[in-house]
Amino acid sequence: MRVLNVAEKPSVAKAVANILSRNQGLRMREGRSRYNKLFEFNYSIRGQHCQMVVTSVIGHLMELEFDDRFRKWHSCDPAHLYQAPVRKFVPEDKLDIKRTLEEEARKCQWLVLWLDCDREGENIAFEVLEVCTQANRHLDVWRARFSALIDREIHESVQNLVRPNQLFADAVDARQEIDLRIGASFTRFQTMLLRDAFVIDIAADDRNLVLSYGPCQFPTLGFVVERYWEVQSHEPEEFWTINCSHKSDEGTATFNWMRGHLFDNTCAVIIYEMCVQEPTATVTKVRQQEKRKYPPHPLNTIELEKRASRYFHMSSEHTMKVAVNLRVRFVTKIVTRARSAWFDTRSWEVECMVAEDLYQAGFISYPRTETDYFSERTDLHGIVREQLGHPIWGSYAQLLLDPEAGLWRNPSNGGHDDKAHPPIHPTKFSAGESQWSQDHHRLYELVVRHFLACISQPAVGAETTVEIDIAGESFSSSGRVIIAMKNYLDVYRFESWGGSMIPTYVFGQQFIPTTLTLDSGVTRPPPLLSEADLLNCMDKAGIGTDATMHDHIKKLLDRFYATKDANTRFSPTNLVTFLASTIYEHLVEINGEALVMGYDDMGYELWKPYLRSMMECDMKAVSLGTKRKNEVLTTCLEQMKACFLDARSNKGKLLEAMALFFERSNRSTGDEQQEVGDVVRQCNLCQESNMVLRRKPDGNFMVGCLGYPQCRNVVWLPGSISEAAVTTISCNYCTPGPVYKIQLKFRRLEIPPNYNVDHLGCVGSCDEILRQLTEICGTGSRICSSVPEHVQQQEGEDQMHLPPMHNEAVVGKLLAFTVAKEGILQMIALQWFCALGIHSLIEQICEVGGDSSVPCNTKFYSCQSQECNFFVWEDSLDSSSGGRSAQPASASSSASNPSRRGGRGRGGSGRGRSRGGRAGQSGGRMATDSTFVSATGDPVSGRRCFVCGDPSHFANVCPNRGM
């Protein structure tokens, strides 16, 4: 049987192959990827002979990304990223690894997954599983679970294979999708809003600056900002306290005032003078009790990072990740920083993790674990025996194994178990390798000493407390001495049990203090957060995981959100102070009022990272099977989308806060003033971005491409629209689809009476009504004017709701079109419009060739149909005559209109120009050989006689009229 074994990294694949083959008959060959070798050897699994093939991936084989349509920053409204389709795919730089897996999977019957035994490793396992089973669907898939790259663990795991855990993989899938959608939406929003509006001097080229947001990054930042503001807002206040000391032959005791201190100088002076007048001190209490200092819990990843920071001043990132070159003799880890939807691109990096070096070389167990207690199956005595030969702590290990010494104690239970790995502990003896750096020596020593300490007895001491009375004021002093063996403190040199000896006192004893002083001091702010403090805050709040916390901290520094001083204490930058004060409150309180720099007004609870903590709990619930992945995704994304929309609706506060810290830029395009609506369709011009419904500052509606300014495709909607909303109804005719219809509401006075106020329109080419109304009403800006008081609304079903009247030309076009369409001169409508103060109905400029007898500013009405020659002069209204069809004439005239090119809703230059003659009874003027255009300057087809349906005439000249 042929078995394909896949590890998470090349070094692990090599270690597993060496252990299983015992370096006998091991053959190596090249794969398609030059970093991922293949190792072949023979082995027996459960008594069955197998030909083993061991190879590896490099971390995640696949990436999660939006569909190509949504990947560009201007391709869609960031709010739509919460529903945009996502896909998992193998990136181009890992296609060689994929091809190797496919080729080998076709030749094998079993697939054994040797990925790290945590949730992230399980997710990578299912990525490998997907690729391999697509090439060979008959593969029998197994999972090897191990915690250390040592012979015992590897051989035991391959003989006890289990099935992969889908729940662990689902938890990671949910987290990846949530982080992608939230991070991309907020990063695009705040970057596009602020980058060009302000001069942000934290980068050399601020045009390429990305103001990134991370669901874990910002809550982590919250702890830094909160402590920073506590320090900045602190106002020193003077206080006074009374100090007392007594020196005897046995030593000196310092007594502290049990009131602590007073902020009132007068009161402090009065009490002090009372003590000076009666300085005799009387011992009122002597208490002696046993004290124990317990050893730490077994070591997990967070404690390893915290203690390395505290003891060695190593950053958490440096503890887990130290950059080295390819000459490092242990392992190299090739990491690809893939281009994401919102983060900058990083080049290939060669990284080596100090803890992982020790792990992969077999010196310590797996360093990424949440577990802090040992199971009963762990051979603790065997681990101690391996350290007997060490020149420094070997003697202490010998005492631990000696039953008569009584030093052994079963380790305590820290209460955390990730169900994957034991606590970090030594797995192989080393007195120090020549290739190790100082960091390797320090970290290995910390792991070994911590393990020996956690299985040792606590230190035992005695504490003595003495209380005295001086003039009615109480003072106390305490001293501590270790009376038994120091026990674990003998080996755990990183901790001590401080204390001082005090003289012996008995109850009722009296003495005169050696010194009695009134001292002043000032209150001090709390210190800035150290890295150990920050890790502790993140751990308590459930922000990130043991494997990612150090990365979140590093990102704050890389993206100029925080700085770290020589004492590893963090301060936020100006950019962060702004972001935290304006964006974050939207994320933690959907209905809360966003206040600029005002957390005191918002309440302390608003700053806590509850949302991310809830997400992490949900991820854990998915891994345990108590919640489903889709349930968590739906709930979390709905909540975060509401947060995003709320933050965007208050974007003015972001701009105001930004102006406090940064200078305004002249590059601002004003795009932040535009209101982005819902998607109507994919752009049919660039075919990359979406077209969305927008409402411009002047109140007009349009459907424009989000790819602007690269793509300038736009559909202008009629200027008479008062309300517009995209529906979920798609058009059955327009392609490419879907093209979603828009529910439109028109202002009654700006459209002909025979059109409905409500219309479900389509911006494709199928909606004739929308096209007609665009021609009638135009799309230009409207100048508001008041409705005269003497105009009264009509009662009944035809009652009109009269908003403020607008441009006279619009009303003129409306009346002209109504007259032409109905085929009669509607004198009632004419009188009604005149009552509104509209004196100029519509004005067409005649371009008369060679006929100077025709005035240039003559007003007329014409039919919009190309086939119909209906025409009437305005002065014919006085004689109450109707229009009649014009006969061809030699005199030519044309009605010209403003050009549509370069404008909105206007006819193109020369477009629809028609030659017109005159008909009617005005002065006997006649014109021949003429056609006419609409009031907008565009011919309108589709007009028919409503009596007989003939398109060649209207009802007023229909031969069938009255039949």
Tokens 């009476």, located at residue: 753
d(CA 668, CA 687): 27
CA dihedral (304, 310, 316, 318) positive or negative = negative
> Bridge-partner residues for 461, per DSSP?
291, 482
d(CA 476, CA 242): 12
d(CA 251, CA 248): 5
- Encoding tokens for residue 916? 């017109």
3-state secondary structure of 231: helix
- Contacts (Cβ under 8 Å, ≥6 apart) of 247: 514
Tell me 850's DSSP state.
S
Residue type, 918: R
- Contacts (Cβ under 8 Å, ≥6 apart) of 404: none
d(CA 275, CA 282): 12
* CA-to-CA dists, residue 161 to 46, 104, 113, 140, 931, angstroms: 10, 20, 9, 12, 89
- Encoding tokens for residue 384? 């101690």
- Encoding tokens for residue 783? 């100048």
- Share in percent of the chain as helix, strand, coil (round to 5): 35, 20, 45
The C-alpha R_g of the chain, in whole angstroms, comes to 41
State the DSSP string of 917-950: ---SSSTT----S-----TTS--------TTT--
Residue burial 501-532, b: 16+ Cβ < 10 Å; e: rest: ebbebeeeeeeebeebebeeeeeeeeebbbbb
Residue burial 299-318, b: 16+ Cβ < 10 Å; e: rest: bbbbbbbbbbbbebebbbbb
Mode of pairing for the β-strands spanning 2-7 and 48-56: parallel
Residue 837 C-beta-side C-alpha neighbours within 13 Å: 11
H or E element at residue 66: strand 63-66
d(CA 236, CA 219): 29
Query: Please, is 12 exposed, middle or buried when counting C-beta atoms within 10 Å of its C-beta (0-12, 13-18, 19+)?
Result: buried
- Encoding tokens for residue 697? 């500052």
Closest to 98 in 3D by CA, of 147, 144, 36, 149:
36
Strands (E), 46-176: 48-56, 63-66, 86-89, 110-114, 140-143
* CA-to-CA dists, residue 359 to 353, 354, 620, angstroms: 9, 9, 26
Mode of pairing for the β-strands spanning 38-45 and 48-56: antiparallel
Is the bond preceding residue 458 a cis peptide, omega within 30 degrees?
Answer: no
d(CA 874, CA 848): 18
Tokens 């002090």, located at residue: 272
Closest to 815 in 3D by CA, of 792, 793, 794, 843:
843
CA dihedral (624, 629, 634, 640) positive or negative = positive
User: Nearest 5°: phi and psi at 424?
Assistant: -70, 130
Residues marked active site are found at 366
- Encoding tokens for residue 466? 């003495």
The span from the first CA to the last CA of the chain, in angstroms, equals: 95
d(CA 474, CA 542): 44
